[in-house]
Structure 1
Amino acid sequence: MPKQTFLNLDESKRKLITDAFLREFATKPFDVASLTVVVKKIGIAKGSIYQYFEDKLDLFLYLVGVCSTTKFKYIGHIERKDYPDFWFYFRALYEHGVQFDLENPLQSQFLFQLMENLHSPSIKHLYQEMLEQSVAGFEEMVKHEVAIGLFRKDIPIQVMGFMLYKVGVSIQEHLIQFRVINPKISIEKNIPIYKGKKDKLMLTVDHYIQLVKPSFDKKSNQ
């Protein structure tokens, strides 16, 4: 958590510092990202950072929190009960996620690179923790669908939850592999990752849904 000295800064200075480090961590792994380089760019003393945060990790976790909070404002209000089946809900999460990207490109770029960033040796323990949290979230989605009789129950929830998590990962990797998006160029040009790409993203999501839906849905396996 940031120290009170950081919270006491005026909003413009907090944003300057936050954005500068978002860009640094979006382009470099945690262990390579440099506090020294950033403070030189924005013209503050390196010692100031330790007046604002306990250490580099504390700063990094603050950035994760900021971006996650912002994204939640876009997708947190989406409720499963408002959609006829899980896959309409799953699709809606992507649609609203695109809006987050278009309106908050730097935060989106940071989150896009987050799991790769967490492979840095000094914070690998965080990768496992966040992976477990992500998978647990998908397991809860699966539990709900099984409970209301829409998902099959002959496959362990843990298996289906992890598979659903991997579907999301595969969609992202697919878009990069086939050059629909290029996160590195987006960061260099300071433009949203999905600018002008929403239709292709949603078409890809629809294709993946078509592939995996029969494997999850109860009526497809009766």
Structure 2
Amino acid sequence: MPKETFHNLNPKKKEKITDAFLREFAVHPFDKASLSSVVELLGIAKGSVYQYFDDKLDLFMYLINECTKVKMKYIGHLKRDDFPDFWAYFRALYEEGVQFDLENPLESHFLHSLVENLNSPSVKEIYNNMLQQTISAFEEMIKHEIELGNFRDDIPLKTSGFFLYKTSLAINEQMQAFGEITPKKSIKKRKPVYEGKVDELMQTVDNYIVLLKNALDKEMS
């Protein structure tokens, strides 16, 4: 986590440094991201980074935490019990996620590229740990719906949880595969990931919900 010297910086300078590194890690995987190119762009000495953070990984983890905190301001208030069924809740998560993207494009791009970043050899262990935590969260969602009698219980929890996790990734992967979103281009233009493509995203979400309902809903089994 950041050292006290970073916290003591002028807020505008701190934001400028954070934004510059967010952009670097959004464009390049962890192992290829260059601290040197960022500090050169900022016009500061490379040694300054190590006055603010222990190392590159410490900086990277700070960025993850900061972006996650921003996104949670959008989705954190959503509670499953406030929705008539799981799929309305699932869709609302994407609706709030879109708002996060439109209003915080840099943070959104960073999180959008996080899987690619975490697959870098240097941070593979961190990736594995975060992956297990994420899958466990999806398993808990499934378990809750099973307990409510909404989801079928004849599939191992680890299978249905992993299936829901992979499907959530597939929605974005499909849009990227068909050129509906082009994150590497939009970040260079300083544009949100889903600018002009919100309707396409939500239609894709709705299409996947149809498939997921048929796979997981109890009355469909």
Q: Tell me which residue corresponds to 1:123.
A: 123
Instruction: Report the residue type matching 2:102 in the other structure.
Output: L
Q: Tell me which residue corresponds to 2:109.
A: 109
Q: Tell me which residue corresponds to 1:12.
A: 12
Q: Tell me which residue corresponds to 1:203.
A: 203
Q: Which runs of 4+ in 1 moved over 6 A?
A: none
Q: Cα deviation per residue 1:12-71 (whole Å; 9 max; x = unaligned)?
A: 010000000000000011111111110010011111110100000000000000000100
1:177 aligns with 2:177: yes
Hey, what's the Cα distance between the residues in 1 that align with 2:14 and 2:133? 29
Q: Tell me which residue corresponds to 2:81.
A: 81
User: What is the percentage of aligned positions where both structures have the same residue?
Assistant: 60
CA RMSD of aligned residues (A): 0.7
How far 1:154 moved relative to its partner? 0.9
Q: Tell me which residue corresponds to 1:193.
A: 193
Q: Tell me which residue corresponds to 1:96.
A: 96
Under a length normalisation based on structure 2, what TM-score does the superposition of the two structures give?
Answer: 0.99
Hey, what's the Cα distance between the residues in 2 that align with 1:176 and 1:70? 24
Instruction: Report the residue type matching 2:214 in the other structure.
Output: P
Hey, what's the Cα distance between the residues in 2 that align with 1:41 and 1:212? 46
1:162 aligns with 2:162: yes
Q: Tell me which residue corresponds to 1:47.
A: 47
Q: Cα deviation per residue 1:67-93 (whole Å; 9 max; x = unaligned)?
A: 001001100000101111100100000
How far 1:95 moved relative to its partner? 0.3
Hey, what's the Cα distance between the residues in 2 that align with 1:147 and 1:217? 12
Hey, what's the Cα distance between the residues in 1 that align with 2:130 and 2:144? 22
How far 1:219 moved relative to its partner? 1.2
Q: Cα deviation per residue 1:141-189 (whole Å; 9 max; x = unaligned)?
A: 0011011110111111111100000111110110001111000111110
Instruction: Report the residue type matching 1:140 in the other structure.
Output: E
Can you give the 5+ residue segments of structure 2 that lack an aligned partner in the other structure?
none
How far 1:135 moved relative to its partner? 0.7
Larger displacement relative to structure 2 (100-109 or 116-125): 116-125
Under a length normalisation based on structure 1, what TM-score does the superposition of the two structures give?
Answer: 0.98
Can you give the 5+ residue segments of structure 1 that lack an aligned partner in the other structure?
none
Instruction: Report the residue type matching 1:88 in the other structure.
Output: A
SS in structure 1 at match of 2:32: coil
Hey, what's the Cα distance between the residues in 1 that align with 2:185 and 2:102? 15
